[in-house]
Amino acid sequence: MTDVTTLTDSLPAGTVVTDPDILAAYRQDRAQDPDAGTPLALVRPTTTAQVQSAVRWCAEAGVPIVTRGAGTSLSGGATAVDGALMITTEKMRGLAVDTSTRTAVCKPGMLNAEVKAAAAEHGLWYPPDPSSFEICTIGGNAATNAGGLCCVKYGVTVDYVLGLEVVLADGRAIRLGGKQLKDSAGLSLTRLFVGSEGLLGIITEVTVRLLPPQAPACTVVAVFPTVADASRAVVAVTSQTRPAMLEFMDNTSINAVEDMLAMDLDRTAGAMLIAQSDAPGPAGAAEVALIEQAFRAHHAQEVFTTDDPVEGEAFAMARRVAIPAVERRGSLLLEDVGVPLPELPALVQGVAEIAEKNDVTIAVIAHAGDGNTHPLIVFDPEDTDEARRAQLAFDQIMGLAVSMGGTITGEHGVGRLKKGWLRAQLGDDALELTTTIKQALDPQGMLNPGVML
Amino acid sequence: MTDVTTLTDSLPAGTVVTDPDILAAYRQDRAQDPDAGTPLALVRPTTTAQVQSAVRWCAEAGVPIVTRGAGTSLSGGATAVDGALMITTEKMRGLAVDTSTRTAVCKPGMLNAEVKAAAAEHGLWYPPDPSSFEICTIGGNAATNAGGLCCVKYGVTVDYVLGLEVVLADGRAIRLGGKQLKDSAGLSLTRLFVGSEGLLGIITEVTVRLLPPQAPACTVVAVFPTVADASRAVVAVTSQTRPAMLEFMDNTSINAVEDMLAMDLDRTAGAMLIAQSDAPGPAGAAEVALIEQAFRAHHAQEVFTTDDPVEGEAFAMARRVAIPAVERRGSLLLEDVGVPLPELPALVQGVAEIAEKNDVTIAVIAHAGDGNTHPLIVFDPEDTDEARRAQLAFDQIMGLAVSMGGTITGEHGVGRLKKGWLRAQLGDDALELTTTIKQALDPQGMLNPGVML
């Protein structure tokens, strides 16, 4: 095994960790890939210069690098590789809000929730809101182009990143973009790095734009007899308006969340939709009426509307805890497939058929308003046959989404778990182009090997 | 000179043009670069396959390619090069609106205005609105990441492009993205190609997302004694809210437009601001009041507010015709510099000083709400000393913007006219990265040589 002494000696005491117990805690990310490797060592830099030192050491020693934020990847994007150096950006902390430009310059280890809170202190708003916003980092959000619940109206992370500092594979640190809102000078490198899943460089600073605060939202919740009714109601809403949130939960998810939170959800419902409108005044009232009408036209059994933000947040929270709630029933294979919106009913139907065919439980939650679904395949890892059937279902769902002109990942990234399907979605030529760019920027293939490609 | 017979024979009659009179009309774009070359021939393909044939022929013959949309580039991005093949996408026409996904699939030769009109027929809206929207193409908009007046609230072209078809330097046609709203599978190639100014490929199809229609806007117009007052008023507005439009014209621009349109603008004003709010109901009223108050607090001499869309559009039109209006006074060097918003007053002041120092007239118009200004340097091309001083001023203004942490181009692209300043803005490393990607995708350097790099 490579000797890390020279690396350890070049960085402040405690920055390089080789304690096996600590390494074990960093081997896996939230996807809990059983095939995760064991890293050579863990580096916890606090500055860009320390990241550069570590990357240069790796380049010289021929050691691959796995970059990790908070380790909340649901697709194995931060899973350790045997013999690789794991660099976590969690200790790179600090944030400065600039109200005059409505921007925040964030070190990558700041949590999404901390960015939101710092913006709010100045009466501003950072919209992207992955369900893990309280525990995931802004650096990881940028590396994966993270989405969330409000993205249906307010866009994903890339829509907010104005500038980056990135450490390249050869150890150089470059600055891209900045605080100016509009900039078309040169190729769009900032946007290329967002969502690049650590393949092109290590993000060491993120400048995000902030919005004026969101207007108070009105929440509409409805339960439906079937998932088909609910998904058709989604399309009826989105073809007419752009709600601030439009989330979907099926019966399995509803029951899992009800087991966890006991908030009196309807356990018999086939599906539930949670919509929000933040349009102010009469426009908001009209949007709420439109949503209610679309829900009723698609057989909603009960429609509950509230402009109490606490009540509204309770339903949003119910949706956000669905993954840990369903996880109580077994191990999960997490899908992130998306389709053009009119295909949503067929996708949801197809997932049900795949569950039945493979005799596995699949709970479905979705950022339905942008066609992005999270089928959660539940299995017992001790039951090898069920685990095999779960994997079959996992592959079949990605195949189904691709056949509908959709995507294998709407917001989690390809990571390690979905790369087998990337060619089917992108096609040979676009995949080759992706590889060409990767090789041009990281000719030694040092950065996050095995992720995406 | 290279013989184009084999190319001519491989394409439908009339597709390849060598008539010197026609070629002459395609040599220059709207930037009217006097150093424009003479193309070998002009190709007017109607299909992607024809573009591929032309590109393959060029790759074999070693002939460079200049791609052109409507030729409205203000930075020389579509200027001919001696001996190059010019490919215009203006005859690639056709558009399909899909209301169920709220998208439009557009051939690149469709005008921006045609995309807007087709969307509007279905009660939908395509926001990006370069001032040339009636004569520029959607393909050119995508290639340059075009901006416009509404971008201050609604974003630029890249924020609307969901999918592309692109012909690469080796003649392969690839499809990127599609109609799904969220997609994080693979590197963000779609966003990399938007704004790549023809350096990485030829855009042969653009899929854009559409929004529900914009709410009726209320327009606030005010005149100010000085440009300093007006630019401070801009910062006062943008630090508090995000208007749907916030445009700036200085005294020279006001007078040039008044000469052209005779719409009774105040010829004595130091500057004029045109703002719009499209927030509905009480939120809109509050935003209008905030804008009016910020204007008055910065010495607005007259504040005129109207919710009549025809009156509002008249002022927006006044702003849009400013470039041709100022052009009546001489040849123009067109700037497109942007700065972080708090620097706007200093930038406007600095431009005035540069005008005085070099003894040239510089009219300033601006998409002020996002810090993107268009100083228009007026000169007589017959007066070689004035032309020299104009060029000095042109360079000094870009230097000033870069020194303020700004950009040499907010929305027009680097083209040929600004490439000398790209290194100063990006720095050596980011410029090298740009070159690396260009070389990886176009190793022969065939596509738009001399643009950007």
Q: Which amino acid is at A372?
A: N
CATH architecture of the domain with residue range A95-209: 2-Layer Sandwich (3.30)
b/e for B2-15, b at 16 or more Cβ within 10 A? eebeebbeebeeeb
Q: Mean per-residue pLDDT for B327-351?
A: 96
In this predicted model, what pLDDT tens digit does every residue of B237-267 receive, in sequence order? 998 899 999 999 999 999 999 999 999 999 9
- B321 CA to centre of own chain: 14
Residue A151 in contact with partner chain B when CB distance is under 8 A: yes
- Asked if A441 lies within 8 A of B436 by C-beta distance, the reply is yes
Q: Is B119 helix (H, G, I), strand (E, B) or coil?
A: helix
Q: Do A187 and B431 touch (CB under 8 A)?
A: no
Mean pLDDT of the residues in chain B: 96
Tokens for A171? 């150890």
Percent of all residues in chain B with a pLDDT value above 90, rounded to a whole number: 97
Contacts for B425-430: CB closer than 8 Å, 24+ residues apart: B425/A185, B425/A186, B426/A185, B426/A186, B427/A174, B427/A175, B429/A168, B429/A172, B429/A174, B430/A174, B430/A175, B430/A176, B430/A186, B430/A189
Residue A282, pLDDT score: 87
**Could you tell me what percent of chain B has a pLDDT over 70?**
100
The pLDDT of residue A109 is 98
pLDDT band at B282 (very low <50, low <70, confident <90, very high): confident
Q: Does B196 touch chain A (CB under 8 A)?
A: yes
Task: Kindly list the residues from chain A whose CB atom is less than 8 angstroms away from the CB atom of residue B144.
Answer: 184
> Cβ atoms within 10 A of the Cβ of A1, count?
8
| Residue A236 contacts B, CB cutoff 8 Å | no
Contacts of A172 in chain B (CB under 8 A): 429
Residue B445 pLDDT greater than 90, yes or no: yes
pLDDT in tens, A180-201: 889 999 999 999 999 999 999 9
Residues 397-416 of A with CB under 8 A from B: 405-414
Alpha-carbon distance B233 to A46, whole Å? 40
Q: Which helix (H) or strand (E) holds B361?
A: strand B361-367
Question: Do A114 and A95 meet the contact criterion of CB atoms below 8 Å apart?
Answer: yes
Q: Give backbone dihedrals phi and psi of A395, rounded to 5 degrees, phi first.
A: -65, -40
Q: Tell me if chain A has a CB within 8 Å of the CB of B236.
A: no
The mean of the pLDDT values for chain A is 96
Collect all residues of chain B within an 8 Å Cβ-Cβ radius of residue A156. Answer: 182, 184
Q: Are strands A361-367 and B85-88 parallel, antiparallel or unpaired?
A: unpaired
Percent of chain B as helix, strand, coil, to the nearest 5: 40, 20, 40
Strand partners, A219: A276, A306
- Residue B292's pLDDT is what? 98
Please write the tens of the pLDDT for every residue from A412-435. Answer: 999 999 999 999 999 999 999 999
pLDDT band at B181 (very low <50, low <70, confident <90, very high): confident
Q: Check pLDDT > 80 for residue A118.
A: yes
For A307-355, strand residue ranges (E) read: 331-334
Q: Is B433 on the interface with A (CB under 8 A)?
A: yes
Nearest to A63 by CA among A450, A453, A452, A449: A449
Question: What DSSP element (H or E) covers A256?
Answer: helix A251-261
Of A131, A134, A135, A162, give the one whose Cα is nearest residue A146.
A131
Cβ contact A212–B372 (<8 Å): no
Shortest distance between the Cα of B81 and any Cα of chain A, in A, equals 20
Residue length of chain B = 453
CATH number of A5-88: 3.30.43.10
- Whether A310 contacts chain B with CB within 8 A: no
Chain segment A367-417, per-residue pLDDT in tens: 999 999 999 999 999 999 999 999 999 999 999 999 999 999 999 999 999
Only one residue has tokens 């930037």, namely B31
Give the chain A residue nearest B152 (alpha carbons).
A181
% of chain A at pLDDT higher than 70: 100
Pick from B101, B191, B410: CB nearest A183 = B410
CATH of B218-403 among 3.90.1150.10, 3.40.50.300, 3.40.462.40, 3.30.200.20: 3.40.462.40
Q: Residue A178 and residue A165: Cα distance in Å, rounded?
A: 9
Rounded Cα distance between B164 and B125, Å, is 19
Give the percent of chain A with pLDDT over 90.
97
Most distant CA pair in chain B, distance:
68
pLDDT confidence of residue B116: 98
Q: Look at residue A284 in the predicted model and tell me its pLDDT.
A: 93
Give the whole-angstrom CA distance, residue B282 versus residue A217: 15
**Domain limits of chain B?**
5-88, 95-209, 218-403
Helix (H, G, I), strand (E, B) or coil at B77: coil
Q: Do B211 and A242 touch (CB under 8 A)?
A: yes
Contacts of B195 (CB under 8 A, 6+ apart): A184, A187, A188, B143, B144, B145, B157, B158, B413
Judge whether B122 and B112 are in contact, CB under 8 Å.
no
Which pLDDT does position A181 carry in this prediction?
87
Q: Please list every residue in chain B whose beta carbon sits closer than 8 Å to the beta carbon of residue A215.
A: 283
Cβ–Cβ under 8 Å, residues A252 and A272: no
Digit-coded pLDDT (tens) for A24-67: 999 999 999 989 999 999 999 999 999 999 999 999 999 999 99
pLDDT at A287: 96
Please, what's the b/e burial string for B316-350 (b: 16 or more CB within 10 A of its CB; e: otherwise)? bebbbbbbebbbebbbbbbbbbbbbbbbbbebbeb
CA-based max dimension of chain A: 68
pLDDT of residue A329: 96
pLDDT of residue B105: 98
Of A51, A49, A137, nearest in space to A94 by CA? A137
Q: Provide the token pair at B152.
A: 């201050």
Question: What contacts A298, CB < 8 A, 6 or more positions away?
Answer: A224, A229, A230, A232, A233, A236
Contact B187 A176 (CB under 8 A): no
Reading the block at residue A256, the tokens are 């899992």
pLDDT at B219: 98
For B274-317, give the DSSP string.
EEEE---HHHHHHHHHHHHHHHHHTT-SEEEEE--HHHHHHHHH
Regarding an ipTM greater than 0.85, the answer is yes
Residue B280: per-residue pLDDT: 86
Return d(Cα A224, Cα A249) in angstroms, integer.
10
pLDDT band at A311 (very low <50, low <70, confident <90, very high): very high
A residues 336-365 near B, CB within 8 Å? 338-342
Q: How many CB atoms lie within 10 A of CB A34?
A: 9
State whether A408 and B185 contact (CB < 8 Å). Answer: yes
pLDDT 10s digits, B55-111: 999 999 999 999 999 999 999 999 999 999 999 999 999 999 999 899 999 999 999
Strand pairing report for A361-367 and A372-379: antiparallel
pLDDT at A280: 86
Q: A1 pLDDT exceeds 80?
A: no
Alpha carbon of A73: minimum distance to chain B alpha carbons (Å): 13
Is the pLDDT at B406 greater than 80? The verdict is: yes
List CB contacts (< 8 A) between B339 and chain A.
180
- How far is A212 from B271, CA to CA, in rounded Å? 27
Question: H helices then E strands: how many in chain A?
Answer: 15, 16
